[in-house]
Structure 1
């Protein structure tokens, strides 16, 4: 099969947004061996970029189609990591779609990287597994390197029904029950489980010193965030239990009926995930935020990525989003907004 690079399309792609490094790539073992399954198995593309990521997806998809790569799903890296429950359910959906490989698109300073790694429904990629990577100063360079590598290999091409346009992960809900614009009064008596941020288990991993340092730094940041979360509940008058994140079923087996979680997404998509009424004509969303003396409001553009906390009932799948929409720019602000609103309501 002839491999063709759609250079005309890619020339219009000026730059990729600079974001934090993809932690999964740092924990992979780079190899010169490109997976031979790249043209015969299903692939998801995860793009670490800002609001223009869908334009990037369209440009990449035109090239992958020419290469015979069945990139059947495109996701934004921020959105994959949009909360522990969000990530768990996203990975489950990817597994059901029989995704076998992940192509990461990332910018590091002035360089672009394209990395291909084995998919894992537990961690997005198999930690410490082999990954193939190319780096270039432009998007074209990385795709040309991939094409050149593919020409040197005896690949089996079986992806002949690749769609013309990229597909995104839309129209799925974060919960299976009912959305309540309130707080569950039961948590005044029953303990509220607080789902902590998750570290990556280092046991049994074969990593080099640089990777170990990267993983340690990641886990240390997680620990600092968990300490911040615990500190934010020092003035909360009801019982809470801080726990490692787990599924609803696992929480329920331990007799915890209510779990505090968060979601992180662009405002309009976040509201959709959490069951809010659609407001297609809205430019901004009004968020109720906590201040020292009272609750105030702020307007946040709907395309802005924000955090929103909610309480999930483990047995029914119902969620309680609070009496006011209280998303905010940081998780600390969003948690304080939600907790303050809940305490104010319970004090009445």
Structure 2
């Protein structure tokens, strides 16, 4: 369960007068979220001495799952900067066995974190993976974390961005998220792409300290449409959006063929790639960074990070799950919260 410390992609900021307070939702109770949370917090005092953590979940589940992977949960909760807000399961949870009775429990964890962050009780939230099917089977239409966060915070448009860690991380944002492939073209509009580019530009400056973000944009079709022979979305939608964004001072370039864009000669000076759909950009990102990558929701009024993987039901309770991605997500959330505090303090 151990994982190496990661290097945040957010510039270091001076530590403020109070610790940053991070809420962690433990996600699907049958998955790896509870045990990974325990593994991460076992090293929290050393990794993040200026952070406080509020774990949202069923305390008995957390203790049992920690014990199953040889983590001393009582030692974690004895630490002054780690607390558990007990939210009881609706039904017993067994590792690897989904139970729709707990679908609304998972949503309750997320609702509590969002409400606390909106009320500035939490400086950021970190979400362990959940199982969409369990929530849908519980009778709640649910597409994903990203869409739910947008709805609950009344944010008209958010952007899903996955990123690696390190001094110059690979970042990939998405113009569309969880849509069937047949619906992607119709979902792409000039105004929508311009607003997406605004959000990326704004949040890279605001949360990641990138002074002048450079965004590379993929086409939708093979070979970026081959001058219209393989599709007109690049001509009719993507290129006009790039011109409009450029007129606003946003450094967005493209559209580039997605199959050749992800090379060092293009990415070496880029701060983010905007891909048109989920499986266009994320396979490359996950191949390069899986196990250490993170998911960040841009455009929200709150800070939210998450892991780059799912519930891993086959690994739950075995001790074989790698905590690296959750460590990176927590590290980035702490760094983003510190950076936001530093910016706010400098403007006072």
TM score, norm. by length of structure 2: 0.27
Give the structure, 1 or 2, with the largest relative contact order (CA under 8 Å, sep 6 or more). Answer: 2
Greater share of residues in strand? 1
Structure number with bigger Rg: 1
Greater share of residues in helix? 2
